[in-house]
Each structure stands twice: as structure tokens, then as C-alpha cells.
Amino acid sequence: MTLRTLILRSLRFHARSHLGVLLGSTIGSAVLIGALLVGDSVRGSLRDMALARLGKIEAAMATGDRLFRAELATNL
């Protein structure tokens, strides 16, 4: 028995197992690719919505827990 016939007989004998592994890996990769595509789409739409809500903002102030005067906006 040559190496070639050994490989062919092994493939033929374990064909169902090989088919299961092939189908499982195909379905798994399809699910992962779909999740990545949906994640990118959601990220893009959330970014667009956030930019639409912000409008034409030039600057932002992080004040923490402190208050500031209403006239500060005109001074800036």
C-alpha cells in the first residue's frame, strides 16, 4: 500500500467526519464574518447619529463636577 492509497482510503473511510468539520468551519466563519460586518455597520451608524446630534461643535469643555458661568460661552 502506497502513501497515496492510504490517504485516499482514510479520506473515504472518514468522509462523514471530514464533511462535518468542513460544514462546521464554514458555518462558524460565516457567523464570525457576519458579526464583524454588522458590528462595523452599527459602529458607523452610531457615529453618524452622534455627529448629527452634535452639529457644528468647535470646542468642548470637561468641567467634571464644577459649575461655570453662562457668560463663559460668549467669552470663549
Give CA–CA dist 38/32, Å, rounded: 10
Question: What single-letter amino acid sits at 59?
Answer: A
Give the single-character DSSP code of 46. Answer: H
Taking the C-alpha atoms of residue 2 and residue 7, their distance in angstroms, rounded to an integer, is 9
Q: What would the pLDDT profile of 52-69 be if each residue is shown by its tens digit?
A: 998 888 888 788 788 888
Region 37-55: mean pLDDT is: 93
Domain boundaries, the chain: 1-50
Please, which residues have CB within 8 angstroms of residue 11's CB and are 6 or more apart in sequence?
A: 18
Nearest-angstrom CA–CA distance, 6 and 3: 5
Evaluate if pTM is beyond 0.95: no
